[in-house]
Chains A and B, each alone.
Chain A
Amino acid sequence: MRPALRLAAILLALASAPAYAAKPGQEEVQSDISMREISIQSNFTGIEILIFGSVDFSHAPAPDEGVYDVIVVIRAPDQPLVARRKVRVAGIWVNGPGKTYPTVPEFYAVLATRPLRAITSEETLRTLGIGLGNLDFGGRTEGDLDEQTFRSAVIRLKEQQGLFQDIDDGVSFIGRSLFRATVDLPVNVPIGRYTAAVYLFRDGTLVSKNESTLEVNKVGFERLIYLLAFRHPFLYGLLAVVMAVLAGLIGWVVFRRE
Chain B
Amino acid sequence: MSDTNFTLDYQRKEIPTKARNAGLIFTGLGLIIVVVSYIINPERTAYNSIIGSSFLLSIGLLSLFLIALEYIAGAIWSVVFRRITEFLSALIFIVPVFALPFLLNIHSVFNWTHAETVAKDAILIHKSPYLNTTFFFIRFAAVFIIWWLFYFVLTGNSKKQDSTFNQTLTKRNASFGAVFMPIFAITITIASIDWLMSLEPKWFSTIFGVYFFSGSLLAAIAATTFAAVRLDENNLFGIKIKGDHYYSLGALLFAFTNFWGYIAFSQFMLIWYANLPEETFWFISRWEGNWKFITLGLIVFRFIVPYILILSQPSKKDPKRLKLAAIWILFTHYYDIYWLVMPNYSRSGIAFSWYELGYPLLCLGVMILTFTFKAKNTNLLPVGDPKLKQSIDFHL
Do chains A and B stick together as partners? no
Chain A residues proximal to chain B, CB less than 8 Å = none
Q: Give residues in B with beta carbon < 8 Å to A.
A: none
